[in-house]
């Protein structure tokens, strides 16, 4: 069969109301085998550096769109240099308990 249905991962902007899907060269959306691979391509291996996504500290992604919501996400939640891991998104109870422990 010349075509097969396969599950894949796509890097998507997590800034509320955006949802932009990472595309490597504006001709197609990048489909990847793992979430880590999708994040790596969107944040570090983009052909055009101006199209790179930003990995936020909580594991979400922000596309390069320039507006108040995206700029705030990148400024407040930008990942530490060298971070390339998808962190779990914690619910309020987990955040609260982590805060009390540390």
Which pLDDT does position 100 carry in this prediction? 40
CA-CA-CA-CA torsion sign (25, 48, 23, 63): negative
Residues of the chain with pLDDT under 50: 85-102
Domain chopping of the chain, boundaries: 1-102
pLDDT at residue 97, as a whole number: 38
- pLDDT of res. 60: 87
* pTM, 2 dp: 0.66
- pLDDT computed for residue 82 by the predictor: 55
pLDDT at 67: 94
pLDDT, position 21: 86
Q: What was the pLDDT predicted at 25?
A: 55
Produce one character per residue of 36-56: b if its CB has 16 or more CB atoms within 10 Å, e if not. Answer: ebbbebbbeebeeeeebbbbb
- In 31-98, DSSP assigns E strands to 54-55, 61-62
Nearest to 69 by CA among 12, 13, 2, 15: 15
């Amino acid at each position: 069969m010349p075509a097969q249905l396969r599950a894949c991962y796509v890097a998507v902007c997590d800034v509320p109301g955006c949802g932009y899907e990472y595309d490597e060269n504006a001709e197609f959306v990048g489909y990847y085998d793992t979430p880590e691979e999708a994040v790596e391509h969107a944040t570090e291996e983009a052909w055009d550096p101006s199209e790179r996504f930003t990995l936020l500290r909580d594991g979400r992604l922000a596309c390069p769109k320039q507006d108040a919501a995206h700029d705030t996400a990148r400024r407040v939640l930008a990942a530490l240099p060298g971070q390339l891991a998808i962190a779990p998104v914690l619910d309020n109870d987990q955040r609260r308990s982590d805060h009390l422990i540390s």
